Amino acid sequence: MTWWKKSVVYQIYPRSFADSDGDGMGDLRGIIDHLDHLAELGVDVLWLSPVYPSPQDDNGYDISDYQDIEPLFGDLATFDELLAGAHARNMKIIMDLVVNHSSDEHEWFLESRSGTDSPKRDWYWWRPARPGMEPGTPGAEPTNWGSVFGGPAWEYDEKTGEYYLHLFSKKQPDLNWENPEVRQAVYAMMRWWLDRGVDGFRMDVINMISKDVSLPDGRLNAGSAYADGSEAFIGGPRLHEFLQEMHREVFEGREGLLTVGEMPGVTVEEAILHTDPDRREVDMVFQFDHVWVDRGPDPWLLVPLQLTQLKAILGRWQAGLAGAGWNSLYWNNHDQPRVVSRYGDDSPAHRVASAKMLGTVLHLHRGTPYIYQGEELGMTNYPFADIDEFRDIEALGQYKQALELEGRTPEEVLKVLRARGRDNARTPMQWDDSPNAGFSTGTPWLPANPNHVEINAKAQRADPDSVFHWYRRLIELRRTEPAVAEGDFTMLLPNDERLYAFTRRLGGTELLVIGNFSGVEAHAGIDGWDGAELVLDNLDSPPEGLNLAPWQAVVYRRTV
Ligand code: TEU
């Protein structure tokens, strides 16, 4: 079995992980200082969010030099030290690869915008104004698409009188993958990192690199100022071709690597094609269906989680990728609110139990689990009071558009940002109960959650009943029980609104996993498990007759 099917990946968001020099910003030295925390947890792979030079408009997802290290974070020598330190502890490192777009301060873009006859003009998407419209006036953009971060997806450039495409911020111009020179430049850069010793890549919005070159207008949804253009760039016409070319040019003949493509909006059918090893594209993808389940057609209305829907979605992904292909498993990353606040209960009475329950259900699925920094502590959302406490370009941009162009009130938008905003994931990692949570001796770029006095790594490493040690045990179980990594998956109780239940089977071993996603006792009507061995129980209180206490999670094992 391929090594990464038995592995657990841990995501580090460097600017919020650990600050070694007191400037309020996490750095590479800070990661080196905490490698033992990660080794003790037992993870196999570290994924670093971008550490390259960047104006930090989108916290590093706007890269101005692909082959160096952001000075705020360190330098290449420190990076090599980090890589060696991880490898010495048997952990691999994968890099974030952000090549749907670059920074507008990358030399490629500076060259491209210098004139219509620039040799790199065609490295980005330049287009004239809509026919018959005055360039630079509202509505004259080449298409009606909105950018993910608010405002139009096109920026007018006075100098040449044309617009460039930016699906994200205007400081993130989209690279033109139609141009073979662009692709070769990206592949060369990837080989350079692999030659340096890195172990693979997480590929940012990689299913957006191929666009329908006719750039058609998108559908305008009621109440929104700009259209959704995604039909023209999600899973575009040449995506499979580009990924296969990348595989040939970069990965062919290299061993021991991991590739994961971030693919918002990807379908199960497409994901099967992307992850079928015979097609040589990527090892696994990040799909979004299960983190969009609490999102309705109106982006500014909170929709409560419906467990039956969550199970239907994840069950569909499990069944779809059961043959060829492979799942990635995640609740959290730097773009998502904290899962214990979202699908669990972060009140003092239930935080620990529900964090453990959520970890158990996720890690017992078939696929490779990803842990986002602080998830192993059950870190929660931050109590944001007002918009001026947010730093995220997405929150600020969407807030502005909603208020200025779409007639929303501050309170209705804030309500959603508090629950879903990306800064919830980006507050400093909570190392101890000292000021700033032991993250920094200076002023952190985003304040630490006040609950760090209770919730922190130091306290949890010392407490065998902590969320940290529970995650450590989940990772250990994956190593000692082959059915966790390799077993077949069967969903049970699909219509139950409280219990998430399934079995895993490998040869003569069968596991039963049940998680109670509610604050009330719930009975699991599942027969045949009397006398089975109880492998894990987050409450240390074995359920009588499969009556699960609030937020309880259990794993049983039997021989069949
Ligand atoms: O995110 C892509 C993505 O789909 C986001 O739009 C995400 O769904 C949304 O922000 C959730 O609120 C990737 C990176 O993970 C993100 O941090 C970057 O901002 C984005 O690409 C642009 O590089």
Give domain limits for the chain.
3-100+180-470, 101-176, 487-559
Q: Is 165 helix (H, G, I), strand (E, B) or coil?
A: strand
Ligand 1 in reach of 183 Cβ (< 6 A): no
CA atoms within 13 A on the CB side of 342: 29
Residue 414's pLDDT band, with cuts at 50, 70 and 90, is very high
- 185-197 pLDDT, tens per residue? 999 999 999 999 9
Q: Are 49 and 58 in contact (CB under 8 A)?
A: no
457 phi and psi, to 5 degrees?
Answer: -65, -40
Residue by residue, DSSP assigns 273-335 as HHH-GGG-S-SEEE--GGGSTTB-SSTTSB----HHHHHHHHHHHHHHTSSSS-BEE-S--TT
Percent of the chain with pLDDT over 70: 100
* Mean of pLDDT values over 421-450: 98
Burial class (CB in 10 A: 0-12, 13-18, 19+), 449: buried
| Smallest CA separation from ligand 1 atom 18, residue | 61
pLDDT above 90 (res 1): no
**Amino acid making up residue 150:** G
Question: For 112, which DSSP code?
Answer: H
Ligand 1 in reach of 320 Cβ (< 6 A): no
Q: Which atom of ligand 1 is nearest to the CA of 288?
A: 8
Ligand 1 in reach of 174 Cβ (< 6 A): no
Q: Which atom of ligand 1 is nearest to the CA of 420?
A: 12
| Smallest CA separation from ligand 1 atom 10, residue | 335
pLDDT above 90 (res 510): yes
Q: Which atom of ligand 1 is nearest to the CA of 168?
A: 22
Handedness of CA 459, 465, 467, 470 (dihedral sign): positive
Ligand 1: distance of its center to the CA of 29 in Å? 26
Ligand 1 in reach of 205 Cβ (< 6 A): yes
Ligand 1: distance of its center to the CA of 407 in Å? 25
Question: Long-range pairs for 303-309 at CB < 8 Å and ≥24 separation?
Answer: 305/342, 305/343, 305/517, 306/497, 307/496, 307/497, 307/498, 307/499, 307/500, 307/517, 308/494, 308/495, 308/496, 308/497
Mean pLDDT of the chain: 98
Ligand 1 in reach of 392 Cβ (< 6 A): no
124: number of Cβ within 10 Å: 24
Q: Are 173 and 197 in contact (CB under 8 A)?
A: no
Supply the Cα-derived Rg of the chain in whole angstroms.
24
* Mean of pLDDT values over 342-361: 98
Residue by residue, DSSP assigns 392-447 as -HHHHHHHHHHHHTS---HHHHHHHHHHH-GGGGTSPP--SSSGGGGS-SS--SSP
CA distances, 36 to each of 23, 91, 199, 313, 321 (Å): 23, 11, 19, 36, 34
Q: Where are the alpha helices (DSSP H) in 76-133?
A: 76-88, 107-112
* Mean of pLDDT values over 405-422: 98
Name 93's Cβ contacts closer than 8 Å, sequence gap at least 6. 45, 46, 47, 48, 82, 83, 86, 87, 198, 199
CATH code: domain 487-559 is: 2.60.40.1180
* Top mutation candidate among 59, 204, 233 for ligand 1, by most atoms within 8 Å of CB: 204
pLDDT above 90 (res 518): yes
pLDDT at 202: 98
User: In this structure, which topology does domain 3-100+180-470 adopt according to CATH?
Assistant: TIM Barrel (3.20.20)
Q: Are 353 and 408 in contact (CB under 8 A)?
A: no
pLDDT at 88: 98
Among 34, 35, 46, 32, which Cα is nearest to 94's? 46
| Smallest CA separation from ligand 1 atom 11, residue | 335
Rounded Cα distance between 88 and 83, Å, is 9
Ligand 1 in reach of 203 Cβ (< 6 A): no
| Smallest CA separation from ligand 1 atom 7, residue | 335
Among 417, 471, 461, which Cα is nearest to 438's? 461
Ligand 1: distance of its center to the CA of 335 in Å? 6
Q: Which atom of ligand 1 is nearest to the CA of 98?
A: 23
Q: Which atom of ligand 1 is nearest to the CA of 333?
A: 15
Rounded Cα distance between 303 and 297, Å, is 10
CA distances, 545 to each of 377, 468, 490 (Å): 31, 29, 21
Which top CATH class is 101-176?
alpha beta
Ligand 1: distance of its center to the CA of 317 in Å? 21
- 43-88 pLDDT, tens per residue? 999 999 999 999 999 999 999 999 999 999 999 999 999 999 999 9
Ligand 1 in reach of 394 Cβ (< 6 A): yes
Strands 45-48 and 92-97, by their bridges, are: parallel
Rounded Cα distance between 76 and 98, Å, is 18
Q: Which atom of ligand 1 is nearest to the CA of 335?
A: 11
Block residue for tokens 């922190």: 456
Q: Is 13 helix (H, G, I), strand (E, B) or coil?
A: coil
Residue 256's pLDDT band, with cuts at 50, 70 and 90, is very high
* Top mutation candidate among 165, 335, 392 for ligand 1, by most atoms within 8 Å of CB: 335
- 286-317 pLDDT, tens per residue? 999 999 999 999 999 999 999 999 999 999 99
Percent of the chain with pLDDT over 90: 99
Rounded Cα distance between 433 and 348, Å, is 17
0.75 exceeded by pTM = yes
Ligand 1 in reach of 204 Cβ (< 6 A): yes
228 phi and psi, to 5 degrees?
Answer: -90, 110
Residue 206's pLDDT band, with cuts at 50, 70 and 90, is very high
Catalytic annotation, residues: 204, 262
Ligand 1 in reach of 61 Cβ (< 6 A): yes
Ligand 1 in reach of 148 Cβ (< 6 A): yes
